[in-house]
Amino acid sequence: MSTRISRNTKINGLLLLVVVALAVLPLVLGLGDHKEEPFTGADAEAETAITELQPDYEPWFSPLYEPPSGEIESALFALQAALGAGVLAYYFGLRRGRRQGAALAAADEGGAGLTDGAGRTDRAGGTDSGSPGSPEAPGSGATRSDAQGSGLSAAGPGGPAGDVRDRDA
């Protein structure tokens, strides 16, 4: 059996290598070695540039909260980034769930669902945990009727019910 790598896997691997290169190359090449603080933030760089260009510059605003140390400032920034990532992950997960729910609903309206050997359909798309031997019990021979009508067991072709095409005929 040959293992084929999908196009998405190749793209994800390439993107991962680019991110690692962006993080490691400045350290390896010694970029910023000539500075006192080589990897300061953009705010500090902007403040330095402004004071060099106009030494008498007065800021218009002052911060609402000034953290007592740089470590606390970094921790607050990391917390802000984590909250933003959580909001984005929630949004994309919600979108994906809605798309999958719509696809399941469309498939259910088209007659796809779980059926037992007698042709009864479980419209919820799952199995009930009924008593052993009941048509709804797991491993009882419930089959998924898909668009092609393959009649394969919900557990797959090697599952407890096996291929039921000959039985239904």
CA 133 to chain centre: 38
Q: Read off φ and ψ for residue 97, nearest 5 degrees.
A: -60, -40
CA atoms of 86 and 93, how far apart (whole Å): 10
Whose structure tokens read 């088209």? 110
Burial class (CB in 10 A: 0-12, 13-18, 19+), 78: exposed
CA atoms of 13 and 63, how far apart (whole Å): 41
In tens digits, the chain (169 residues) has pLDDT values of: 568 889 999 999 999 999 999 999 988 888 777 777 777 778 878 888 999 999 898 888 888 988 998 899 889 999 999 999 999 999 999 999 999 999 999 988 876 555 555 555 555 544 444 445 444 445 544 444 444 444 444 444 554 544 444 444 4
For residue range 105-131, list pLDDT tens digits in order.
998 887 655 555 555 555 554 444 444
